[in-house]
Structure 1
């Protein structure tokens, strides 16, 4: 039976191997957020220790993202993905062994998750940058969408499977399953033959490569503006995740109501991933920036607060939007920038997002204490909506469009992510009217 057009990328064996590998490792990784908390607590740690371990993971990832972006552009991205899978498999395998032997200590969790975060800093830009080497430009969005849909689905199923494993066994079992998932991913990726190799730029000093990658973004000021606006979006939406449980606990349904909201949001993410398989807007940045305004709904509905069903529907709409927008923007990024610098561009994108959301988590409670919860939520809603709408006034944002052949570029230039003509410089030629964006995470 022939596959639907939206799933046609699965006919490509290299992409099919990558998708299978990512699906397996994503499911294994989805066990960890629930498991690691109980593993630390059962090993004699407390809430501060849990916070320390999670912070180590985040810091390891943020600090190493620029390094990961450079090396994912310097080396074969397939080899980078294999290396990160191997590191994760070893780290989690050793940690599982320590738990089974009752020798696990908090510092071991901290070291493991610092290294895991550093490995993710190499994996993330390489994983996005490798796609143009596997499928054609017209297939990039469904290829991104399938991977995003898998991530959304595993985030729903993972906690339930983790709870089941914790009920019948120790946390070490779930961590061992995660290690095995990375080992299987390693094997699958090793069998992945790229359709073509990216022509690398001549190697320079590490900091010269880092500078060149980021200068590409800085030269396209419209693109940098889009990245920063989505960073603001991530900062503001973090207020919802911090203050939402507080509002629900204050006589509006408590943990049960909050669970309903989160489940509905997860369902919205899955629907958004399905929509991204087929929906291809003619003006990707104008459309995604306009859609970003839906992020207002969770914050604005929580402020009164509205009835539970209204908040849940608002969250579902916002999560649907972020899932759909994320895949459209990833595809746009992959085609607007030369493939030889794509990992560095992606690393900057992820770094801004990863810094913005923890900053929002940290700021939410103090701001709410100063302004009041209702006012804080309404201010955060305004912060989400306004910058993205203003971005669409920039000529460069409006100039990015999808051409009849399905590729994305700048109107009047027909520029895609092909290698640049001059080998002496990787900086793109820009005009004074350029502009694109970065997905909300």
Structure 2
């Protein structure tokens, strides 16, 4: 007999099992710290006497090792327990951000200090991202997968709202060093939560032929799906130009035109609020043509660059950021749902690594060239160029038939879901991972 107290206790949905709950909690903690740290790192460089080119170099220093080690990180995450890879990566990020914070608080850090510590952070991210994405996709299955991903992203981006707003305010009030210290502490807490993930239900991989064989296998999965490689190629440009606009030009426009880090933090917070709204929409809406609808929602990503080029006042920029945040979240949920539907579970992390690799491969070049491009063309022209590139490559990918025609499967799953509940393994869900014959999900792409 159920006690009255137990009956009043709120029940989690069946798909929100132990692993899913831990992953969501850790993502909330991490995003509270990281969104403020993005602002803090840029203003730490500027406060130390750097210019736009130096801001771009520090951003590129984080991305270069991310690109170099992503494929290895994906293969490792499919070979080792994913939660151990995630905890090790969080530890490295904690140490690197903590050292960055100490240097900034103690005095003016040298540019090479910031480059080195940013590179260490990027190395940790290279191993964390494929493992995290694979672990998330393995934590849910069946008909409610799309809703679960939307709820996860809504929680994650909701934390980003507070992180960005609080980070901008803290940078203005206390300086960037303390915001970096908060980010280091957030990595420590998140790593502790992820250490409790249960991977016993995930089927152990058979011994393979080695790392290179795993990478070749992942490449075959990636290149054999036109919808996958074409959208990754699209995002290699989109992520690069949007990243350059937000990491380099955004702080400069904020400093020169908008009044400093506080308004820029408000604009980033509006983007985060938009992602929450978009994720909430996707908990209710299940578009049948996942990739077609998602790709249409990439076009608004051109708006923030255009708004910075004008530049719009803070209220207008915040409105534009909100719209683009909501739109890209529709893409994000559609993308990871497609990935979950089409890619076998045991290859999640490897294929995700190719997705990440293609998506961020051009970011170091874009951020490093952002300063010189501003000098040659002017800041406004460079930002308009970013907006045009987003529109052009997004229109091009709509010519791929699979992008227009790939549809959601709606087969109901009656069996218990071991990955979501943490119970004993049961029959595998054919929707979730065995459909490798059909022709990644960027949980993070821009969020």
The interval holding the TM-score normalised by the smaller chain is 0.7 to 0.9
Q: How does 1:11-50 map to 2 (within 5 A)?
A: 11-37=16-42, 46-47=50-51
- Residue matched to 2:348: 342
Report the number of matched residues.
Answer: 420
Of 263, 268, 271, the residue aligned with 1:265 is: 271
Against the structure 1 CA distance between its residues 249 and 122, is the aligned structure 2 distance closer, same or farther, given a 3 Å change threshold?
closer
Per-residue deviation, 1:393: 4.1
Offset, 1:73: 0.9
Judging changes above 3 Å, is the alpha-carbon distance between structure 1 residues 41 and 397 closer, same or farther for their aligned structure 2 residues?
Answer: closer
How far apart are residue 189 of structure 1 and its match?
1.7
Show structure 1 runs of 5+ residues with no match: 408-413, 421-427
In structure 2, what is the equivalent of residue 326 of structure 1?
332
1:191 matched residue in structure 2: 196
The more displaced of 114-123 and 140-149 is 140-149
Distance change (3 Å), C-alpha of 1:35 and 1:9: farther
1:178 alignment partner in structure 2: 183
1:211-263 CA deviation, whole Å, 9 max, x = no partner? 2211211122332112112323334545754667888999x877698777555
Show the counterpart of 1:209.
214
Separation of aligned partners in 1, 2:354 and 2:301:
23
Equivalent in 266, 287, 291 of residue 293 of structure 2: 287
Indicate yes or no: 2:408 matched with 1:402: yes
Q: CA RMSD in A?
A: 4.1
Which of 155, 158, 179 is the equivalent residue of 2:160? 155
Long gaps (5+) in structure 2: 1-7, 414-428
Report the counterpart of residue 322 of structure 2 in structure 1: 316
Task: Kindly provide the CA deviation profile for residues 348-402 of structure 1, in whole angstroms up to 9, marking residues without a partner as x.
Answer: 2122222344544456676677778777666654543344344344332344211
Contact 2:73 2:353 in 1 (8 A): yes
- Which residue does 1:220 correspond to in 2? 225
Q: How far is the alpha carbon of 1:288 from its aligned partner?
A: 0.9
Question: Residues 201 and 340 of structure 1 are in contact (CA less than 8 Å); yes or no, is this contact kept in structure 2?
Answer: no
Task: Please list the CA deviations of residues 302-345 of structure 1 after superposition, one character each: whole Å capped at 9, or x if unmatched.
Answer: 77778886665444322210122112201211221111111111
1:145 is displaced (CA, Å) by: 2.4
* Structure 1 residue aligned with 2:90: 85
Counterparts of 1:82 and 1:126, CA distance in 2? 10
Distance in 1, matches of 2:360 and 2:187, equals 23
The 8 Å contact of residues 240 and 360 in structure 2, kept in 1 or not, is answered as no
Distance 1:322 1:94, change over 3 A: same
Give the conservation status (yes or no) of the 8 Å contact 1:268–1:317.
yes
Contact 1:86 1:182 in 2 (8 A): yes
Shift of 1:78: 1.2
1:193 shift after superposition = 1.7
Measured at CA, do residues 437 and 181 of structure 1 come closer, stay the same or move farther in structure 2, by a change above 3 Å? Answer: closer
